[in-house]
Structure 1
Amino acid sequence: MTLQHISSYAHGEWIAPGSGARTIADAVTGEVFATAGNDALDVAGMRDFARGKGGAALRAMTFHERARMLKAVALHLDGHKDALYRLSYRTGATLADSRIDIDGGIGTLFAFASKGRREMPDGHVYVDGDVERLGRTGRFLGQHVHTPLRGVAVHINAFNFPVWGMLEKLAPTLLAGMPAIVKPATASCHVTELCVRAMIDSGLLPEGAVQLITGGTGNLLDLLDCQDVVSFTGSADTAFALRSAPHILRNSIRFVAEQDSLNASVLGPDAAPGTPEFDLFVKEVHREMTTKAGQKCTAIRRILVPDAHVQPVIEAISARLAGTVIGAPDLDGTQMGALVSNAQKRDVLDKAAIIAGEAERVHGDPEAFEVSGADAEKGAFVPPMLFHCADPERAERVHDTEAFGPVSTVMGYRDLDQAMALVNRGGGSLVASVITRDPEVARRVTLGAGAFHGRLYFNNRDSMAEATGHGSPLPHLVHGGPGRAGGGEEMGGIRGVKHYMQRTAIQGSPDILTAITDQWAPGATEIEGPAHPFTRRFGELEIGETFHSGERQVTLDDIEHFAHFTGDTFYAHMDDDAAARNPFFPGRVAHGYLLLSFAAGLFVEPDEGPVLANTGLDGLRFMKPVTAGTRIKVRLTVRKKTRRTPDYGEVRWHVTLTDQDGDKVGEYELHTMNAY
């Protein structure tokens, strides 16, 4: 049989395996089919290529251009899924497993592309938070901003998700404007390589934006500095060895880790046998034990149930596991495939033996189980194994040993306080799930276990039709956890993008901040436009362009008419004596929403024009009561522009209402969509 060569992609070239190459075996047959790795790979050149080519090209793009690039890559990969599925069978993954990996990874690209367009500017600087006024007169301001780091992100990924594991790191990295060197686990790097080839062949990525190492990284980590980032997924021991290297510590190199996790699932005290919640719990546990053959960092390793329900839970889970078809992953009907390698099989069995020292195996005999369409001895097959720990408080190893396969342990609890203490014995986990319909149980779990978990997943009959599952990280929410889980927070929407940027506090005048952020800061220079701003198209408007309205006097008839017309007859607007007794008002005052309506009347241009829609407002505040006889006027300033489509863009306007004394009576940000 001719061995396949799983190549690396370095400084724009595909490089075949060479000295130090390792073999890769089919998880189902045990047959060696490929080699990967090359000790002579020029990792220093890869770092320089990423910085000099990839980083420069990405930083020249705006956040929106990078977001559109991610979407285009996702669409391109969507046409290569079938080839990736077929190759993924060699890792022991079923079609359902591969869809989680491949479709999930592509979906993550789509999600970050969408969030980048909706939540980030069409520019090069990401503004974080509000402007801080640092001086009495507002002439000296502060603002936090994020800009891309100038180094390279080194992504060291685990074997279990060769596509999703790569893409969930690449999406925020590339969106931030930083190039990446991807290092997948050797056991499944052939799937990663095929995905990278598709991305490179698409021509959608700038040269140097993504490189690939299929094998060891050599001395790459020793070449990094404070502008680089290491993002690692794998075992706690490997993470510790990497992140504690003197060079990493001395240079304060960012190290994001997602590692071992003894995740737990808790059956709430209210979820007794016969309830929809009990059935849901059993279904979730079974799914997490068998999906990817339990090779998921978020899989349920510890199953906590009320003491009275231990036996019914064991019986129900065992019954579902007994009906699970184990076999060749490409066969119809197979529900659970093989582990990724025979080495991984040996490790799972060794860890299961450790757990067996404190718990009784109640289902699944690794010496006697059936496999369909494959040889159980040659392939990396194990059965789902369920254990029962009768004394979880005195046990140690069930709380610190992760058998990274279809292995989980049931343990009873007497009350919710004990359940939380046991859950937290995991020492920090990626996720804990609680199946309950009792809001008070959910609140107590959050307060009792939130500090030990990156994610808490609650589910019951009300939410289960839409729930994504205990073990499904989402690009919108952080994926990580404290302590044993590594202390990292991957994804999390724009939070994940910030891992690859530097947050900088800038200080200066309003004009300086406006120039840096491309957002008008209060007090900055106002620009007088050639015409009413509502008559000017998106591309014609300038940041800082300002319109000053004429005055309008607020009368008592206005206040009463508005009250009766809207039904808002609150006493502060209708009863002078009652309003005067209120410490905030001098007497009857105008409605805040009346002022808002009058403001619109003062600045709106009524004729058809480039303003397509008013889409909302933010930050509405009323600062000074307005009584009858007060004259108000409006200042309307272009604060921020974001192009949404080739045809239109969003304009955010800073709106200030003042009275005849020049005092602010109201302020807000108006959003409109304007034709380009």
Structure 2
Amino acid sequence: MTYERTELFIDGRWRTPAGGVTIPVISPSTGQPVGSIPLGGAADVDAAVDAAGRALRSPEWGAITIDQRVELLSRLAGELEKTVAARAELTSVQNGMPITLAVNAEGAGPPALLRYYAELARALPAEERRPRLDGMGVTIVRREPVGVVAAIVPWNYPQLLTMFKLAPALAAGCTVVLKPAPETTLDALELAAAAERAGLPRGVLNVVSGGVDVGTHLVAHPGVHKVAFTGSTSAGRAIGETCGRLLRPVTLELGGKSAAIVLDDADLSTVAQGLASSSLLNNGQTCHLSTRILAPRRREHEVLDVVAGVAAGLRIGDPLDPATEVGPMVSERQRRRVEDYIELGKASGTLAAGGGRPDREHGWFVEPTVFGGIGNESRIAREEIFGPVLTVIGYDDLDEAVAIANDSEYGLGGTVWTTDIERGLDIARRVETGTIGVNFYNLDLGAPFGGVKSSGLGRELGPEGLAAYQQTKSIYLLSPQTT
């Protein structure tokens, strides 16, 4: 099957990009083209931002009631629910995500988030009255949409991470210019088609694909009021610098190098069951994964054997096969990057599992790989690899375990493994991170997600995710008795 797209979605219409350029979509499973996508440019960004600005002020969007907005979001959710399986397959074809994960994360996740934020916005009053502290009347605190949002999303969870931004932005009354990653543009254009079928007003959602130049132009565009970005820390720093200079609100969800702290009382069968999702999910291409496994010295070899067994036991294969647990890297370049780190690990530690390519004729596959005998100062323990590579690091006591976990420029995820929940909670509270799980890790769509340190700024998901797309206005009213 081939997937051919030649037009961008701007101002409610399908249009050929200004440069008329298309680029191939390459299957990571075969290395062969499976379709093509349009490549936008600066002129397309300008048109999309202008359209979003007009829609923000239009009677069809800017002047409708919250109930009317909820109805539009519900219709969009309904359209997406009709295509769960097809959209999941689209992600797997583009980035190699195992289809069983794609059905839940990429297929079912986006409409669920739309419905969640629609109802959250309906329940939250647009205005509230607060008595003034000086007793001279009241202040009306009003919540308004922040404006035109530039949403820039990566290739690893393209549909879900788009909805991390789009759902609260639309629920707040904003308009959006979406820039998907070139590797995963097909699903963004399918989202635009669903928005068109749902009757979303013109200009509320615009999709412009492209490379770094398109993203740079969009971030700095004078018609943009807020930027929401998920991606690498290096790109996030550049975006943050631009937004800081422009005094433009920005949400940055960036890289991670999280720690799994295995306590001395941990049940290693529980650890083994949890590692596949908390440390190797989506072929290792997940930002919050616990890729540093911290083990007490007296159980270090035991933990290493268990982690190696988990990695070696995962089924590698075609991502469209429901039995597959590990698919390919998203691109040949990404595989080279991961393999370079594996070579560093071989030179500095003990290879306990993997370390090569599986016996497959085509595709950008890498074996899940585990290293022991690695110190936390090693590059493979400090730098985000974004592939299925884990390190097991020993510690002497809990204070050292927490110190190692915190000895990182990142702070996004993490896990603690123990049979004593209260002890696990005490350790979790001491780890410098935005999120952490005890004996498992799974995002809660109703709770804030984001990082500290070099893992980002701001929060997505939960009520905090909606607040990121609102700005408050205080209206002072003098009490009649004081006039």
Q: Check whether TM > 0.5.
A: yes
Structure 1 residues 557-636: aligned runs within 5 Å: none
Indicate the residue corresponding to 1:43 in structure 2. Answer: 45
- Are the structure 2 counterparts of residues 339 and 390 from structure 1 closer, same or farther at C-alpha, using a change threshold of 3 Å? closer
Conserved? CA contact 1:268–1:441, under 8 Å: no
Indicate the residue corresponding to 1:114 in structure 2. Answer: 119
Indicate the residue corresponding to 2:300 in structure 1. Answer: 310
Tell me, what secondary structure is at the counterpart of 2:162? helix
Deviation for aligned residue 1:2 = 7.9
Deviation for aligned residue 1:458 = 1.7
Deviation for aligned residue 1:3 = 7.5
Which amino acid in the other structure matches residue 76 of structure 1? E
Deviations 1:573-593 (A, max 9, x none): xxxxxxxxxxxxxxxxxxxxx
Root-mean-square deviation over aligned CA pairs: 2.5
Indicate the residue corresponding to 2:274 in structure 1. Answer: 284
Indicate the residue corresponding to 1:87 in structure 2. Answer: 90
Using the aligned pairs only, state the percent identity.
26
Indicate the residue corresponding to 1:29 in structure 2. Answer: 30
Indicate the residue corresponding to 1:67 in structure 2. Answer: 70
Conserved? CA contact 1:28–1:338, under 8 Å: yes
Deviation for aligned residue 1:101 = 2.1
Distance in structure 1 (CA, Å) of the matches to 2:422 and 2:326: 37
Which amino acid in the other structure matches residue 211 of structure 1? N
Tell me, what secondary structure is at the counterpart of 1:455? coil
- Are the structure 2 counterparts of residues 365 and 176 from structure 1 closer, same or farther at C-alpha, using a change threshold of 3 Å? same
Tell me, what secondary structure is at the counterpart of 1:454? coil
Which of 227, 235, 238 aligns to 2:235? It is: 238
Distance in structure 2 (CA, Å) of the matches to 1:241 and 1:265: 30
Indicate the residue corresponding to 1:543 in structure 2. Answer: none
Distance in structure 1 (CA, Å) of the matches to 2:321 and 2:429: 46
Deviations 1:313-347 (A, max 9, x none): 22122223222221112234222211211122112
Which of 325, 332, 339 aligns to 1:349? It is: 339
Distance in structure 1 (CA, Å) of the matches to 2:99 and 2:217: 37
Structure 1 residues 210-359: aligned runs within 5 Å: 210-216=205-211, 217=214, 219-224=217-222, 228-245=225-242, 248-271=243-266, 275=267, 278-359=268-349
Structure 1 residues 426-465: aligned runs within 5 Å: 426-449=408-431, 452-459=432-439
Worse-superposed segment, 38-47 or 153-162: 38-47
Which amino acid in the other structure matches residue 176 of structure 1? A
Tell me, what secondary structure is at the counterpart of 2:405? helix
- Are the structure 2 counterparts of residues 9 and 41 from structure 1 closer, same or farther at C-alpha, using a change threshold of 3 Å? farther
Distance in structure 2 (CA, Å) of the matches to 1:357 and 1:133: 66
Deviation for aligned residue 1:401 = 0.9
Structure 1 residues 149-160: aligned runs within 5 Å: 149=146, 151-160=147-156
Structure 1 residues 498-517: aligned runs within 5 Å: 498-509=467-478
Deviations 1:4-25 (A, max 9, x none): 2353211222123545543321
Is residue 98 from structure 1 mapped to residue 94 from structure 2 by the alignment?
no
Which amino acid in the other structure matches residue 116 of structure 1? A
Distance in structure 2 (CA, Å) of the matches to 1:262 and 1:55: 42
Q: Which runs of 4+ in 1 moved over 6 A?
A: none
Deviations 1:611-635 (A, max 9, x none): xxxxxxxxxxxxxxxxxxxxxxxxx
Distance in structure 1 (CA, Å) of the matches to 2:2 and 2:165: 33
Tell me, what secondary structure is at the counterpart of 1:325? coil
Indicate the residue corresponding to 2:369 in structure 1. Answer: 385
- Are the structure 2 counterparts of residues 442 and 143 from structure 1 closer, same or farther at C-alpha, using a change threshold of 3 Å? farther
Distance in structure 2 (CA, Å) of the matches to 1:240 and 1:20: 29
Indicate the residue corresponding to 1:496 in structure 2. Answer: 465
- Are the structure 2 counterparts of residues 132 and 435 from structure 1 closer, same or farther at C-alpha, using a change threshold of 3 Å? farther
Distance in structure 1 (CA, Å) of the matches to 2:139 and 2:72: 32
Deviations 1:513-552 (A, max 9, x none): xxxxxxxxxx99xxxxxxxxxxxxxxxxxxxxxxxxxxxx
Is residue 147 from structure 1 mapped to residue 165 from structure 2 by the alignment?
no
- Are the structure 2 counterparts of residues 234 and 254 from structure 1 closer, same or farther at C-alpha, using a change threshold of 3 Å? same
Structure with greater contact order relative to length (CA < 8 Å, sep ≥ 6):
2
Conserved? CA contact 2:48–2:208, under 8 Å: no
Distance in structure 1 (CA, Å) of the matches to 2:447 and 2:158: 21
- Are the structure 2 counterparts of residues 419 and 146 from structure 1 closer, same or farther at C-alpha, using a change threshold of 3 Å? same
Deviations 1:634-665 (A, max 9, x none): xxxxxxxxxxxxxxxxxxxxxxxxxxxxxxxx
Deviation for aligned residue 1:176 = 0.8
Indicate the residue corresponding to 2:130 in structure 1. Answer: 131
Tell me, what secondary structure is at the counterpart of 1:427? coil
Is residue 410 from structure 1 mapped to residue 411 from structure 2 by the alignment?
no
Distance in structure 2 (CA, Å) of the matches to 1:31 and 1:510: 72
Conserved? CA contact 1:24–1:36, under 8 Å: no
Which amino acid in the other structure matches residue 133 of structure 1? R
Which structure: greater helix fraction? 2
Distance in structure 2 (CA, Å) of the matches to 1:418 and 1:251: 42
Structure 1 residues 534-549: aligned runs within 5 Å: none
Distance in structure 2 (CA, Å) of the matches to 1:116 and 1:259: 27
Deviation for aligned residue 1:412 = 1.5
Tell me, what secondary structure is at the counterpart of 1:30? coil
Indicate the residue corresponding to 1:186 in structure 2. Answer: 182
Deviation for aligned residue 1:239 = 1.1
- Are the structure 2 counterparts of residues 155 and 40 from structure 1 closer, same or farther at C-alpha, using a change threshold of 3 Å? closer
When normalised by structure 2's length, the TM-score is 0.91
Distance in structure 2 (CA, Å) of the matches to 1:510 and 1:189: 55
Indicate the residue corresponding to 1:622 in structure 2. Answer: none
Indicate the residue corresponding to 1:15 in structure 2. Answer: 15
- Are the structure 2 counterparts of residues 9 and 420 from structure 1 closer, same or farther at C-alpha, using a change threshold of 3 Å? same
Distance in structure 2 (CA, Å) of the matches to 1:496 and 1:60: 23
Conserved? CA contact 1:20–1:39, under 8 Å: no
